[in-house]
Amino acid sequence: KEWIPDSTTESAAKAIDSQPFAKLEDAHKWQHGTFIERKHASGISHNKFIILVCNNRPLQVWTGSTNFTDGGIYGQLNVGHIVRDKKVALQYHQYWTSLAKDIPGRRHAGGDGIQPMDVRNEELQPDLSGPLPLRSIKVMFSPRPTAKMLDWFAERVGEAKTIHFTAAFGVSQPIARVLNGTAAGVSSSALRRSPRLLKRASTLRDGCLRYVLLDNKPSLKTSQKLHQKKPGMVDYYDFRFNETNKIAFGALLDKGSSSEDESLTGLNTFVDFVHTKVLLVDALSDEPLVVTGSANFSEASLEKNDENMLFVKGDTSLADIYLTEYIRVFEHYYSRDMYNRFVSKDEDSDRAWGEPVTDESWTVPYFDPSTQLYKERLLYR
């Protein structure tokens, strides 16, 4: 465990302290260097992994998005992933060993000529190029010299028939442009102005369906300010109109909507609902790709932070597990988003929320090729 003595790891330290020794000071006496402080990271120490080592041989890895805290386990959506592969475990152990030596993240962070982590990581795990080979497992560690892997992720999103994606801290520009349709030659500003161009962008990928799960609904005011500051940028308020995208974000039911009001645990400060970092590419195909780990698919997660990412291609059983959980959580929040939007409308509706439909009108969109429901019917049949 890469450990930094701050408030976010206090609960983990307490849990360790309560086992073979009573105090943190006793841990240092029990085994010198039990706790290792990372002083020269170029960003934040964001890894969350454990390596099982037996007789000095790395055997297995537990990784994912889960912080070893009460909030990480009980307060947010997270994932823990066990890899029982000695080659993968060895790569994680080599990475951990470099972190334990407190090698600087980047050259400008200091280090007296020592090869920094970003250069080491790039040499050991070069940026990916093109689709991964079938039945393969790849790992990638950060920091890295550049954030070019974002373009690789954007290419996978652009080529896929189905995407299931979580974004706890927003969507990076390369991926956002693909979700918006701008990768097909339609500008973001044009899409906002023209329903005709928006329709064209939505139908360029016939049959494509992309699910995006955000931690919360982005601020419209913040979006407007960013667009003024950076013309041409793309965000949720652009790609939400693309008919190939289905978007949900963490939310509670509005008060008074049920017999008992929903509430948060209060265990987290920055991320209330969705903390997973998952990308599923064509999850129901014979060649699914699962990407998981600690990194948020952002520039900072690639260029600055200490991070790890796991790529698994062609494991249909694994993809089924991830997809089942993804859809469960997505529909949980999507239904809340729809309900809150319904009850917040000022105009009167001719139908109450939850009122059953007694005719066959509800089936119509499932057979209209221009709708998301039509694509879902074909996807899950």
Q: pLDDT tens digits for 294-331?
A: 999 999 999 999 999 999 999 999 999 999 999 999 99
Q: For 44-55, what is each residue's pLDDT tens digit?
A: 999 999 999 999
Position 224 scores a pLDDT of: 93
Is 370 or 279 the better-scoring residue by pLDDT?
Answer: 279
Q: Which pLDDT band holds residue 208 (cuts at 50, 70, 90)?
A: confident
With CA atoms as reference, report the closest residue to 152 among 132, 181, 136, 138: 132
Position 187 scores a pLDDT of: 47
Position 199 scores a pLDDT of: 47
- Where residue 67 falls (left for φ over 0; alpha for ψ -120 to 50; beta otherwise) is beta
Q: Which pLDDT band holds residue 261 (cuts at 50, 70, 90)?
A: confident
Residues 117-136, mean pLDDT to the nearest whole number: 94
CA distance 247 to 215: 11
Residues 35-46, mean pLDDT to the nearest whole number: 87
Check if the beta carbon of residue 92 is closer than 8 Å to that of residue 63. Answer: yes
Is 232 or 256 the better-scoring residue by pLDDT?
Answer: 232
Strand order in the sheet with 307-313: 136-142, 307-313, 289-293, 279-281, 162-167, 209-214, 245-249
pTM of the full predicted structure? 0.84
Position 183 scores a pLDDT of: 44
Q: Which pLDDT band holds residue 262 (cuts at 50, 70, 90)?
A: confident
What mean pLDDT, rounded, does the chain reach? Answer: 84
Is 376 or 4 the better-scoring residue by pLDDT?
Answer: 376
Q: Which pLDDT band holds residue 380 (cuts at 50, 70, 90)?
A: confident
Q: How many CA atoms lie within 13 Å of 269's alpha carbon, on the beta-carbon side?
A: 3
pLDDT of 27 higher than 90: no
Q: What percent of the chain has pLDDT over 70?
A: 79
Q: For 323-356, what is each residue's pLDDT tens digit?
A: 999 999 999 999 998 888 887 765 455 566 678 8
The one-character DSSP state at 363 is G
